[in-house]
Amino acid sequence: MTSAPLTFETINSNTIIHGDCLRVMPQISAGSVDFILTDPPYITRYQDRSGRSIQNDDNDAWLKPAFAEMYRVLARNSFCVSFYGWPQADRFMNAFRAAGFRIVGHLVFPKRYTSGSRHLRYQHECAYLLAKGYPNEPEYPIGDVIDFVYSGNRLHPTEKPLSALLPLVETFSTYDGLVLDPFAGSGSTLHAAKSLGRRYLGIELDTRYHALAANRLCAV
Ligand SMILES: C[S@@+](CC[C@H](N)C(=O)[O-])C[C@H]1O[C@@H](n2cnc3c(N)ncnc32)[C@H](O)[C@@H]1O
């Protein structure tokens, strides 16, 4: 786990830090990140069929402080895309607004499979497009419905498919811009950023997923 203060070199060195983002982000300079694409715990006590769970998925104590820090480190007139769990939509909305973000879009990711079945067959993921300030509108806006191919969840129980992340990184960040994912998991956002020639910074609390992500990024 990281404890020493982060240097400018570390933050800009395409890395994933092992630690709690609530402790790491305060060490990042205000306004130094160009785009945030993140997939925080959905606060649903998720457990997959093999018993894998997600740290901090059982509480929301981190939610408001994390989005306040994301807002602080993001450059003015820039975007953040955050996945969220629909059962806690109100808590996520409150945290986005309390941090200062403007909600400027909503993305839906239809799945070709059912991830759960109860009152409905649950077949989509969702995310909000948030703005700090008033960023320029993209020259070629992407659609707000993006196909969600099954990732296989081999590296992480809620691994996001690269194909869903690439258009977001491409549209909302610029070549060589710094992309942050403070809830990096197996490093899918960072993989997308590296593939597109962006600089990247990830933070992951879980030792196992941190190691998997670090290995994965070496191979990109
Ligand atoms: C929904 S998962 C992200 C999965 C990722 N998108 C992927 O494709 O692998 C959320 C991750 O946030 C991590 N996490 C939870 N609380 C955290 C914290 N305070 N700081 C850093 N990471 C945290 C969890 O360990 C988990 O791996």
CATH classification of the domain holding 137: 3.40.50.150
Q: Under 8 Å CB-to-CB from 33, ≥6 apart: which residues?
A: 73, 74, 75, 78, 178, 179, 180, 201
* Model confidence at 40: pLDDT above 90: yes
Q: Whose C-alpha lies nearest to ligand 1, atom 4? A: 185
Q: Give the containing element (helix H, strand E) for 199.
A: strand 199-204
- Tell me the CA–centroid distance for residue 139 and ligand 1, in Å: 32
Residue 129 within a domain: yes
Q: Return d(Cα 4, Cα 149) in angstroms, integer.
A: 39
Rounded to 5°, the CA angle 51-57-58 comes to 100
Please state, in angstroms and rounded to a whole number, the distance separating the CA atoms of residues 185 and 202: 9
Nearest CA to ligand 1 atom 5: 185
Would the CB of 161 count as within 6 Å of ligand 1? no
How many helical (H) and strand (E) elements, i.e. helices and strands, does the chain have?
Answer: 7, 9
- Whether 62 lines ligand 1, by a CB cut-off of 6 Å, is yes
Using an 8 Å Cβ cutoff, are 35 and 171 in contact?
no
pLDDT in tens, 153-182: 999 999 999 999 999 999 999 999 999 999
Question: 170 and 133 in contact (C-beta within 8 Å)?
Answer: no
Q: Which atom of ligand 1 is nearest to the CA of 186?
A: 9
Task: Tell whether the torsion through CA atoms of 209, 213, 173 and 112 is positive or negative.
Answer: negative
**Residue 114: what residue type?**
T
22 lines ligand 1 (CB under 6 A): yes
pLDDT at 7: 79
Please work out whether the CB of residue 157 comes within 6 Å of at least one atom of ligand 1.
no
Q: How far apart are CA 53 and CA 176, in angstroms?
A: 34
Model pLDDT, residue 9: 74
Q: What is the pLDDT of residue 4?
A: 66
pLDDT band for position 49 (50/70/90)? confident
CA-to-CA distance for 212 and 162, rounded, in angstroms? Answer: 16
Residues of the chain with pLDDT > 90, as a percent, come to 89
Query: What pLDDT sits at residue 8?
Result: 74
> Does residue 204 have its Cβ closer than 6 Å to ligand 1?
yes
Mean pLDDT calculated for residue range 108-128: 94
Within a domain: 3: no
pLDDT value at 57 more than 70 = yes
* Containing structural domain, residue 61: 14-218
Supply 82's token pair. 């955050």
pLDDT at 29 (0 to 100): 94
pLDDT tens-digit map of 85-100: 999 999 999 999 999 9
Q: Is the pLDDT of residue 12 over 90?
A: no
Q: Is residue 200 part of a domain?
A: yes
Confidence of residue 56 (pLDDT cuts 50, 70, 90): very high
In a domain, 7, yes or no: no
Question: In the prediction, which pLDDT does 3 show?
Answer: 60
Whether 204 maps to a domain, the answer reads yes
Dist. CA 158 → ligand 1 center (Å): 9
Per-residue pLDDT tens for 189-201?
A: 999 999 999 999 9
Domain tally, the chain: 1
Pocket of ligand 1, candidates 204, 208, 217: which has the most ligand atoms within 8 Å of its Cβ, to mutate? Answer: 204
Counting from 1 in the atom list of ligand 1, the atom nearest the Cα of 151 is 8
The residue count of the chain comes to 220
Q: Is residue 8 part of a domain?
A: no
- Measured on CA atoms in the order 7, 13, 14, 18, is the torsion positive or negative? negative
The Cα–Cα gap between 183 and 22 comes to 10
Flag whether 203 is in a domain.
Answer: yes
Above 90 in pLDDT, residue 120?
A: yes
Please work out whether the CB of residue 41 comes within 6 Å of at least one atom of ligand 1.
yes
| Any domain includes 9 | no
CB of 206 closer than 6 A to ligand 1? Answer: yes
Q: What percent of the chain has pLDDT over 70?
A: 99
Position 23 pLDDT exceeds 90? yes
**Which CA distances in Å does 2 have to 10, 61, 205, 213, 215?**
11, 21, 10, 16, 18
- Residue owning the nearest CA to atom 27 of ligand 1: 185
Sign of the alpha-carbon torsion through 21, 204, 36, 33: positive
**CB contact set of 139 (below 8 Å; sequence gap of 6+):** none
